[in-house]
Amino acid sequence: MDEKLDFSKGNGLIPAIVQDDLTRKVLMMGYMNEESLRITRETGLVTFYSRSRNSLWTKGETSGNSLHLKKILVDCDRDTLLIMASPDGPVCHDGPDTCFNEINKTDLMFLDSLQELIQERKRTMPEGSYTTKLFKKGTAKIAQKVGEEAVEVVIEAMKSDDEAFLNEGADLMYHFMVLLVDRGWTLEDVAKVLALRHKK
């Protein structure tokens, strides 16, 4: 891939935008040359080229807040990188979670990562996975499990144990997501239906 990247526009450097693989928050922007990109791939730790110091630097080498590589995407002009990474802590050297002073919270974006994991389980069906066991049992059994979890949510809603209620809600959400993937649908498809209802 390196030989296809266009380093010429930036005199040997290309912008590298770093995005949290889980929350999808933009964490920072740095520059990479061919060597820093190679090191990033080889070590799994995001490494940049510092224009001010004229040297390579691995994020977190002094602060301990490393960026662990998850995926590298290349833009259409092949002169900019999108680095998907998992941060160990605050990314900005001034202390904030991101260099854009945003709070890097998981929020609902974790559901996207969970959905991707469920989809991957369906494709690979790894042994020992609970999700794999559900897929092997078939649609009827998965649907039955969703019904059981829904009943548990109703039961806990009638009580005062908020922790149990939220745990049962999480179980229901997970099993519904498995059912969606089993049927070939996604949370986005459900969101589209809700969006259409909202417009009416």
Residue 82 and residue 52 share a domain: yes
In a domain? residue 99: no
Report the domain count for the chain: 2
In a domain? residue 79: yes
pLDDT of amino acid 169: 97
pLDDT, the chain, mean? 94
Residue 141 and residue 83 share a domain: no
In a domain? residue 104: no
Residue 190 and residue 123 share a domain: yes
Q: What contacts 152, CB < 8 A, 6 or more positions away?
A: 168, 171, 172
Residue 153 and residue 79 share a domain: no
Q: What is the DSSP string of 27-62?
A: EEEEEE-HHHHHHHHHHSB-EEEETTTTEEEETTTT
Residue 2 has pLDDT above 60, yes or no: no
Residue 125 and residue 188 share a domain: yes
Beta strands, E only, 44-164: 47-50, 55-58, 67-74, 81-87
In a domain? residue 100: no
CATH of the domain at 119: 1.10.287.1080
**Residue 139 domain boundaries:** 109-199
Residue 113 and residue 194 share a domain: yes
Range with the poorest average pLDDT among 43-57, 101-115, 146-160, 186-200 = 101-115
33-41: Cβ within 8 A, 24+ apart = 33/7, 34/2, 34/5, 34/7, 37/2, 37/5, 37/72, 37/81, 38/2, 40/69, 40/72, 40/83, 41/69, 41/72
Tens digit of each residue's pLDDT (9 = 90 or more) over 135-168: 999 999 999 999 999 999 999 999 989 999 999 9
Tens digit of each residue's pLDDT (9 = 90 or more) over 65-101: 999 999 999 999 999 999 999 999 999 999 999 999 9
In a domain? residue 97: no
In a domain? residue 95: no
Percent of the chain with pLDDT over 90: 86
CATH of the domain at 66: 3.10.20.810
pLDDT of amino acid 58: 97
- Identify the CA nearest to 67 among candidates 134, 19, 135: 19
Residue 3 has pLDDT above 90, yes or no: no
In a domain? residue 101: no
pTM for the full model? Answer: 0.63
Instruction: Indicate the residue among 87, 121, 138 that finishes a domain.
Output: 87
State the Cα–Cα distance between residues 31 and 80, nearest whole angstrom: 9
pLDDT of amino acid 128: 97
Residue 114 and residue 80 share a domain: no
In a domain? residue 137: yes
Tens digit of each residue's pLDDT (9 = 90 or more) over 17-55: 999 988 889 999 999 999 999 999 999 999 999 999 999
